[in-house]
Amino acid sequence: MNQGALACRAAGLSTAFPAPHFPSELDADVIAFDSGFAYPKVLPELSQFAINALSAHREESLQYAPPQGSPELRDWIAGYMNADGCQVSADHILIAGGAKHGIDLICRLLLDEGDSLVVTAPTYFTCIPIFRSFGAHVLEVGHDAEGLRVDELAALFNRLKAAGTALPKFVYNVVDFHNPTGATMTLARREALVELCAREGVFIVEDNPYRRVRFTGEAVPTLKALDRDDTVIHVGTFSKLIAPGLRIGWVAAHPELIARMMQLKSDGGACPFTQRIIYDFCRSGAFEAHVTKVQAVYREHRDRMLTAVRRWLPTAAIDEPDGGYYLWLDFPPGFDGDAFAAEAAARKVNILAGSRFFAGPGGGYPRNRGPAANSVRLSYSYETLQRIDEGVERLARIYAKMAA
Ligand SMILES: Cc1ncc(COP(=O)(O)O)c(C=O)c1O
C-alpha cells in the first residue's frame, strides 16, 4: 500500500480499529457510562411515521433531496428556534446529518490550514479530531461553573493582537449542560461572549444538543437569541430529543453562509426519508409530549446517579447539572483518572477519563491543575436505574482499591 500518498490529516491516524464500545457490540454485563447513548425505552414509536413517509410521501422519501434540506422541516425548525427567542427563517437553516456533520461543514466554511479556533478546557472531545483534521490550531480557554471564561478569551485575543497574530476563526462552545462538565453558562457571560466576538469579528459556534433536556431552573437565552450581528452559528440536533440513529441535525446562520455551506456539502442532501419522519413527528404534536417524557426520564437517571455517587464515591466533587446527560467527577488531586477508567473498563464499567476532554494542556477548570488528570465523566443516559446503582457500586470498589 502506498503510504506516501496519504494526506497529512490521514497519515498520522491510528490504523487500529477501536475497541467495542457501542451497546450493541458489548457483552450484556458491561455497563455503559461512557457515551451519550439514548435510553432505549425513551426512543419514540415511529413506525407509523415511517410507513407514511414510504407511502404518502414515497417519491420524496426515496428521491434525492434538496441540499439545504426539506423546506417544511427547515420552516418547522425556524419556528422552533423563534419560539426560543431567535429571529430566523427557513433560509437560515441547513439540514445536516447530525450536529457533528454540521460542525464539519462549519469547519469547511471557515478554516484554512494554520488557522486557529478556541475551545473550552475541557470541551466535547469528539470535536477535537474534527478541528485538527482541518490543520487548525486548537486554543483553550478556561471553563468554570458559570461557563466559558470570557475574561480569559478577551486576554487571549489581546495577546494575539499584541503579537500580530491573526485572531481565531471561531469560538466553539456548548452553553447549555456543557459536555463534559454539565455546567450552564450564565446570561452575563453569554452577553459578554457575544459582545466580545461581535466586536472582534470572531464567529461563535454554539453547539446546543441538550437545550431542551432541562430538568431544573429557568432556560437562559441561547447565544443565537442574543446575536444581533450574525456572529453566532448555531448547531442543533434531533439526536437527544428524538433519536440519534436518525442522524438529522441543523446549522442556523446567515443565509449567505448557508448558501456557501450547501455547496461544500458532498452528501447530496440529508436523507429525505428520515427528514419526513422527523417533520411529521414534530408537527403531529407528539414531539412536545415526547420532550416532556425525555426530560422526566433523564431527570430520574440524573437523580439516581447523583444519589449513588454521593453515597458510594463521596470523595468525588460534583456540580449538580440542571440538565443534559453527564456527571463530571473530580477526585482529590493526585488521583489518576486515566488509570481509573482503564481499571473500570477491565471490570466492565465503561467511563471516560477527564483527560480525553482537553485539546491542550488544560488547567482552566477550577479544581484541576493539568489536563483534569483526577477527573472522569459518567453518562447517566443509557443505563437502567438498577444498572446505574450497580455501575457506581462497581466503580466504588475499584476506587477503594486504587485509593488504598
Ligand atoms: C456537545 C455535543 N455536540 C454534538 C453531539 C452529537 O450530536 P449528533 O448526534 O447530532 O451528531 C453531542 C452528542 O453527544 C454532544 O454532546
Calculate how far, in angstroms, residue 239's C-alpha sits from the geometric centre of ligand 1. Answer: 7
Mean pLDDT for the chain? Answer: 94
pLDDT digits (tens, 9 = 90+) for 245-262: 999 999 999 999 999 999
Pairing of strands 31-32, 116-121: unpaired
Query: 1 falls in which pLDDT band (50, 70, 90)?
Result: confident
Q: Are residues 374 and 275 in the same domain?
A: no
pLDDT digits (tens, 9 = 90+) for 74-120: 999 999 999 999 999 999 999 999 999 999 999 999 999 999 999 99
pLDDT digits (tens, 9 = 90+) for 140-155: 999 999 999 999 999 9
**Burial class of residue 42 (count of CB atoms within 10 Å of its CB; 0-12, 13-18, 19+):** middle
Residues 77, 94: contact at Cβ < 8 Å?
no
Instruction: Report the CATH number that the domain containing residue 363 is assigned in CATH.
Output: 3.90.1150.10
Q: Cα dist. 342→11, 218, 243 in Å?
A: 27, 38, 29
Q: Quick check: CB of 182 below 6 Å from ligand 1?
A: no
The mean pLDDT value for 288-315 works out to 97
Query: 371 falls in which pLDDT band (50, 70, 90)?
Result: low
pLDDT digits (tens, 9 = 90+) for 159-206: 999 999 999 999 999 999 999 999 999 999 999 999 999 999 999 999
DSSP string, 205-233: EEE-TTTT-B-SSPPPPPHHHH-SSS-EE
pLDDT digits (tens, 9 = 90+) for 374-383: 899 999 999 9
Q: Are residues 280 and 293 in the same domain?
A: no
Residues 42, 293: contact at Cβ < 8 Å?
yes
Mutate to test the pocket of ligand 1, among 127, 185, 239 (most ligand atoms within 8 A of CB): 239
- Cell 451519550 -> residue: 36
Total Cβ atoms within 10 A of residue 387: 17
pLDDT confidence of residue 25: 84
Q: Are residues 260 and 344 in the same domain?
A: no
Residue nearest to atom 14 of ligand 1 (CA): 36
Strand order through the sheet with 170-173: 93-96, 249-252, 232-237, 203-207, 170-173, 116-121, 137-144, 147-148
The C-alpha torsion from 286 through 289 and 294 to 296, rounded to 10°, is: -160
Q: Is 274 helix (H, G, I), strand (E, B) or coil?
A: helix
Q: Are residues 234 and 292 in the same domain?
A: no
The mean pLDDT value for 206-216 works out to 98
Q: Are residues 243 and 309 in the same domain?
A: no
Q: Quick check: CB of 174 below 6 Å from ligand 1?
A: yes
What is the tally of helices (H) and strands (E) in the chain?
14, 13
Q: Are residues 280 and 298 in the same domain?
A: no
Whole domain around residue 228: which residue ranges?
64-284
The overall pTM is greater than 0.85: yes
The mean pLDDT value for 287-303 works out to 97
